Amino acid sequence: MPLLLQMKELASGLPRLSDRVGDFVRSNSESLIAVVSPKKGTNFAKGVAITSILNTDEHSHMEPVRYGSGSGFFRTLLAPHSPGPTVLSRIWGGIVAFMRQPVRWLRALFVSDMAKHSQVLLYMRTLEGTLRMRLGREWRTGYRRGLVTQLDDPSQAPSAFMEEATDLAERFADKTEGVTTTLMTETLLGVPSTAHILGGACMGDSAETGVINTNHEVFNYPGLYVIDGSAISANPGVNPSLTITTLAERAMSLIPTKQTAPEVNPSEKGTVPFTEGLRVG
């Protein structure tokens, strides 16, 4: 999005890009809560990353996520999971949680291998809620020109805290003798996080309704394609990597096969000729 928005502003860039660039940005409406268990013998790092899904209703589910042993840098990003409407209430909630179980918290904060002792609970929903990305200035960009977001519908604003996700995480923590943590930005700022940012260069039937056509080709710029998560125009409610891969393979299959480049004699000096019609993805 930053690249496309910047190029659209330049007369020498891509000024005829659709005005829809940056629209319909969404996430999986998720909540990421890490349960850290200092219990001796705990090892959540064994096995594949995601092994199961708990469906809680028609639009919500939770997935336990593992990280390999040694993947512990994320401990520097964590803070107590403390839902609340204001920063003071969230900080106070974190203090209260620590005071109730100080020994458990101290042991959890200093476990030797964070990945072995933590389980990330990824709660996702298929509910809608979209943002617009634009270039602008605000306190989060240090008042320098950068990427900022605007809500399309304030009533559908994404939430950093979901009651069901919190309840499931706390129950999991009780069973594993652990504590619930979340990203520091959520505790301090109340801003939700996402691992699955999508949209911003969605499909449409014209440049007035979308950025790319059904072949992923950018309107007004033949030969330019967008095939990553920016093209996803809905909230799948699950990890979108396979959806993105499938769309990318389809997009590439629709590009006509071109004549291959002529063979180059190894003894000849110079550059290898560029194949006409080559697409780089």
User: 117: Cβ–Cβ under 8 A, 6 or more apart, which residues?
Assistant: 36, 37, 38, 39, 42, 43, 44, 108, 111, 178
Give CA–CA dist 47/194, Å, rounded: 24
Question: Which residues have a Cβ under 8 Å from the Cβ of 262 and sit 6 or more positions away?
Answer: 273
Round to whole Å and give the CA distance between 173 and 37: 7
3 state SS of 90: helix
Establish whether 117 is a catalytic residue: no
E strand map for the chain:
31-36, 54-57, 60-65, 78-80, 118-125, 131-136, 146-151, 179-183
Q: Are 182 and 78 in contact (CB under 8 A)?
A: yes
Contacts with 6 (C-beta within 8 Å, 6 or more apart), sequence order:
13, 135
Round to whole Å and give the CA distance between 156 and 51. Answer: 31
Closest CA to 114 of 59, 172, 169, 181: 181
Q: Which amino acid is at 93?
A: G
Catalytic residue among 59, 61, 117, 196: 196
Rounded to 5°, the CA angle 162-74-146 comes to 75
Angle (nearest 5°) at CA 119 between 109 and 38: 35
Catalytic residues: 196
